[in-house]
Amino acid sequence: MPIKPAPDFSWIKPDPHGIFVEPCNAWIDPSKPVETALVTHGHADHARGGHGAVFATRETLAIMDLRYGGAGRDVMIPMREPVDIGGGVTATYFPAGHVLGSAQILLEHAGERVVVTGDYKRRPDPTCEPFEVVPCDIFITEATFGLPVFKHPPIAGEMRKLLDAREQRPEGCVAVGAYALGKAQRVICELRRAGYDEPIYLHGALEKMCALYEELGVPLGELRSATGIKKDELKGQIVLCPPSALNDRWSRRLPDPVTAMASGWMRVRQRARQRNVELPLVISDHCDWDELTQTITEVDPAETWVTHGREEALLRWCQLNQRRARALAMVGYEDEDD
Amino acid sequence: MRAFATLVDRLTYTRSRNAKLDLIADYLRTTPDPDRGWALAALTGALDFPAVKSSTIRNLLTERVDPVLYTLSRDYVGDTAETASLLWPAPEGEDPSDEPSLSEVVDLLRAMTRSTVLTELPKLLDRLDANGRYALLKFATGAMRIGVSARLARVAFAQAFDVSVDEVEEYWHGVEPPYPTLFAWAAEGAPPPRTDLVPLFRPFMLAHPLDETVVSMDDYAAEWKWDGIRVQLVHINGETRVYSRSGDDISATFPEMAEALDFPAVLDGELLVRGSHQGGEEGGAASFNALQQRLGRKTVSKKMLREAPAFVRLYDVMIRDGEDLRELGWAERREHLELLMDRLDPKRFDLSRLIEADSFEDLATIREGARDDAIEGVMLKRRDSPYIAGRKVGLWYKWKRDPLLIDCVLMYAQRGSGKRSSFYSDFTFGCWDGDPDKGADLLPVGKAYFGFTDDELKWLDRHVRQNTVNRFGPVRETDKSLVLEIAFDSVHESKRHKSGLAMRFPRINRIRQDKPAHEADRIAALKALVRD
Q: Annotate B348-380 with DSSP letters as a single string.
A: TEEEPPBP--SSHHHHHHHHHH---TTS-EEEE
B107, pLDDT greater than 60: yes
A25 close contact with B: CB closer than 8 A: no
Q: Which amino acid is at B34?
A: P
Residues of A in contact with B69 (CB under 8 A): 147-148, 313, 316-317
Query: Which of A66-70, A84-88, A300-304, B432-436 comes out lowest in average pLDDT?
Result: A66-70
Which domains does chain A possess? 12-149+286-327 (3.60.15.10), 155-281 (3.40.50.12650)
Contact A51, A33 (CB under 8 A): yes
- Does A322 lie at the interface with B, CB-CB under 8 angstroms? no
Nearest to A278 among B13, B65, B79 (CB): B13
Reduced to 3 states (helix: H, G, I; strand: E, B; else coil), residue B111 is helix
Cα distance between residue B66 and residue A228, in whole Å: 54
pLDDT at B277 over 80: no
pLDDT at A332: 60
For CA atoms A167, A171, A177, A178, the dihedral sign is: positive
A269 and B CB contact within 8 Å: yes
CB contact (8 A) between residue B12 and residue A273: yes
Higher pLDDT, B440 or B532: B440
> What tens digit of pLDDT does each residue of B116-162 get?
999 999 999 999 988 899 999 998 987 777 878 888 999 999 999 99
Residue B280 is which amino acid? G
Nearest C-alpha of chain B: how many angstroms from A277?
7
B410: nearest Cα among B482, B339, B342, B460: B482
Residue B417 has a pLDDT of 66
- Which chain B residues are Cβ-neighbours of A267 within 8 angstroms? 86
Q: How far is B324 from chain A (nearest CA, A)?
A: 48
| CA–CA dist B311, B269 (Å, integer) | 10
Contacts of B437 (CB under 8 A, 6+ apart): B518
CA distance A309 to chain B (A): 12
Q: Read off the pLDDT band of B230 (50, 70, 90).
A: very high
Q: Which of B52-56, B65-69, B241-245, B492-496 has the lowest mean pLDDT?
A: B492-496
C-alpha angle B33-B39-B45 in degrees, rounded to nearest 5: 140
Contact A320 B79 (CB under 8 A): no
The residue with greater pLDDT, A269 or A338, is: A269
Cα A41 to Cα A96: distance, rounded to the nearest angstrom = 9
Q: Could you count the other beta carbons within 10 Å of the beta carbon of residue A46?
A: 25
Tell me how crowded residue B439 is: count the other CB atoms within 10 A of its CB: 7
Q: Is the pLDDT of residue B411 over 70?
A: yes
* Preceding amide of B178 cis, omega within 30: yes
If interface means Cβ-Cβ distance under 8 Å, which residues of chain B face chain A?
A: 12-15, 65-66, 68-69, 72-73, 76-79, 82-83, 86-87, 134, 415, 417, 421-422, 474
Whether residues A149 and B73 touch (CB distance < 8 A) is answered with yes
Q: Is the pLDDT of residue B248 over 70?
A: yes
Reported in sequence order, the residue ranges of B292-368 that DSSP labels E, i.e. its strands, are 310-320, 323-324, 349-351
In sequence order, what DSSP letters do the residues of A222-234 get, joined into one string? -EEE-TTS-GGGG
Mean pLDDT of A310-336: 83
ipTM of predicted complex: 0.92
Measure CA of the first residue to CA of the last residue in chain B; give whole Å. 52
| B2-141 to CATH, choices 1.10.3260.10, 3.40.1350.10, 2.60.40.10, 3.30.70.1350 | 1.10.3260.10
Supply the DSSP symbol for B200. Answer: -
Please state which of the ranges A322-336, B262-276, B516-530 shows the lowest mean pLDDT: A322-336
pLDDT greater than 80 at residue A143: yes
Of B72, B86, B421, which has the smallest distance from its Cβ to A312's Cβ? B72
Chain A: residue whose CA lies nearest to B20 = A278
The residues spanned by each domain of chain B are: 2-141, 205-400, 404-527
CB within 8 Å: A277 and B68: no
Measured between CB atoms, does A280 come within 8 Å of chain B?
Answer: yes
What are the pLDDT digits (tens) for A182-224?
999 999 999 999 999 999 999 999 999 999 999 999 999 999 9
- Cβ-Cβ contacts under 8 Å between A and B: the total is 65
Q: How far is B416 from chain A (nearest CA, A)?
A: 10
Chain A residues close to B15, C-beta within 8 Å? 276, 278
Distances in whole angstroms, Cα of residue B384 to Cα of each of B225, B245, B331: 20, 23, 6
Question: Residues A286, A122: contact at Cβ < 8 Å?
Answer: no
Residue B111 CA from chain centroid, whole number: 33
Contact residues on chain B for A268, CB-CB shorter than 8 A: 76-77, 82, 86
Is the per-residue pLDDT at B398 higher than 50?
yes
Cβ of A317 under 8 Å from any chain B Cβ?
yes
Q: Which of A149, A267, A268 to mutate to test the interface with B (most CBs of B within 10 A)?
A: A149
Enumerate the residues of chain A whose CB falls inside 8 A of the CB of residue B460: none
The model's confidence at residue A24, banded by pLDDT at 50, 70 and 90, is very high
Question: Residue B518 carries which DSSP code?
Answer: G
Could you please report the per-residue DSSP string of B449-476?
Answer: --SS-HHHHHHHHHHHHHTEEEEETTEE
Between A300-309, B191-200, B222-231, B301-310, the lowest mean confidence (pLDDT) is in B191-200
Over the stretch B23-36, which tens digit does the pLDDT of each residue have?
999 999 999 999 99
Share of residues in chain B with pLDDT > 70 (%):
97
Residue B361, pLDDT above cutoff 60: yes
* pLDDT at residue number B372: 63
Same CATH fold, B404-527 and B205-400?
Answer: no
Residue A3 confidence class, pLDDT cut points 50, 70, 90: low
Q: Does the structure show a pLDDT above 60 at B373?
A: no
Confidence class for position A68, pLDDT limits 50, 70, 90: confident
Distance CA(B134)–CA(B388), nearest Å, equals 43
DSSP for residue A194: T
pLDDT (average), residues B108-113: 94
The per-residue pLDDT of chain B, averaged, comes to 90
Distance of CA B147 to the CA centre of its chain: 12
Of residues A331 and A179, which shows the higher confidence score? A179
* Residues from chain B contacting residue A247 (CB–CB below 8 Å): 415, 421-422
pLDDT band at residue A272, thresholds of 50, 70 and 90?
A: confident
Q: Could you tell me which chain B residue has the CA closest to the CA of A146?
A: B73
CB contact under 8 A, B12 and A277: no
User: Considering only CB atoms, which chain A residues are within 8 Å of B422?
Assistant: 247-249, 251-252
B225 is catalytic: yes
* Cβ separation A148–B87 shorter than 8 A: yes
Q: Would an 8 Å CB–CB cutoff place A260 in contact with chain B?
A: no
Q: Is the pLDDT of residue A338 over 60?
A: no
CA distances from B2 to A167, B27, B127 (A): 22, 11, 11
A336 — pLDDT class (breaks 50, 70, 90) = very low
**Active site residue: B20, B53, B123, B225, which one?**
B225
Which ranges of A180-243 would DSSP assign to H, the alpha helix? 183-193, 204-215
pLDDT band of residue A237 (cuts 50, 70, 90) is very high
CATH of domain B205-400: 3.30.470.30
The number of angstroms, rounded, from the C-alpha of B234 to the middle of its chain's C-alpha atoms is 20
Q: Which residue has the higher pLDDT, B247 or B420?
A: B247
CATH number of B404-527: 2.40.50.140
Reply yes or no on whether the pLDDT at B324 is more than 80. Answer: yes
Read off the pLDDT of each residue in B502-516 and give the average, rounded to a whole number.
89
| Mean pLDDT of the A145-155 span | 95
Q: What is the pLDDT of residue A169?
A: 86
